[in-house]
């Protein structure tokens, strides 16, 4: 864990802690998960954007029928997720995140056409998403 901590300055860790619902220890754990998706790429550039497919391969997302939307909502411009995007996503889904924040992001996830409204078409897509059945 010490190696991960040296990746970030104390100031960065404090900023991440203020902007998320995580402790410093949890932030370092999230970084370990992020790095585990593509160690070589993250070691070369801590600010690398990992592909949406790579993020969706996480066990927590892999079976989720909304994984495409979840990743899209948290992706910064150009697609893919940087560590900060990933940290935001993990923070929103943490137990410590307030219900209001979770509700705002749930709305964005269900708004398939990104028009700031849940339309009949959005509801249709929501209901007809293929659920994973082993």
pLDDT digits (tens, 9 = 90+) for 17-65: 999 999 999 999 999 999 999 999 999 999 999 999 999 999 989 888 8
Phi, psi of 81 (to 5 degrees): -125, 130
∠ CA 35-39-43, rounded to 5°: 90
Q: Residue ranges of the alpha helices (H) in the chain?
A: 2-5, 10-19, 24-37, 39-44, 52-56, 59-62, 67-74, 83-92, 99-110, 120-128
Does residue 134 fall inside a structural domain?
no
What domain count does the chain have?
1
pLDDT digits (tens, 9 = 90+) for 107-134: 999 999 999 999 999 998 888 876 554 4
Does residue 52 fall inside a structural domain?
yes
Give the domain extent around 72. Answer: 2-128
Global confidence as pTM: 0.87
Does residue 70 fall inside a structural domain?
yes
Domain CATH for 87: 1.10.238.10
């Amino acid at each position: 864990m010490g190696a991960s901590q040296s990746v970030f300055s104390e100031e960065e860790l404090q900023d991440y802690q203020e902007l998320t619902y995580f402790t410093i220890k949890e932030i370092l754990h999230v970084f370990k998960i992020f790095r585990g998706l593509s160690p070589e790429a993250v070691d070369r550039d801590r600010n690398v954007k990992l592909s949406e497919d790579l993020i969706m391969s996480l066990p927590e997302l892999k079976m989720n029928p909304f994984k495409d939307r979840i990743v899209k909502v948290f992706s910064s411009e150009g697609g893919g997720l940087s560590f900060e995007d990933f940290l935001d996503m993990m923070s929103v889904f943490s137990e410590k995140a307030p219900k209001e924040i979770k509700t705002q992001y749930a709305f964005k996830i269900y708004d398939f056409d990104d028009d700031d409204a849940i339309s009949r078409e959005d509801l249709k897509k929501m209901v007809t998403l293929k659920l994973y059945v082993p």
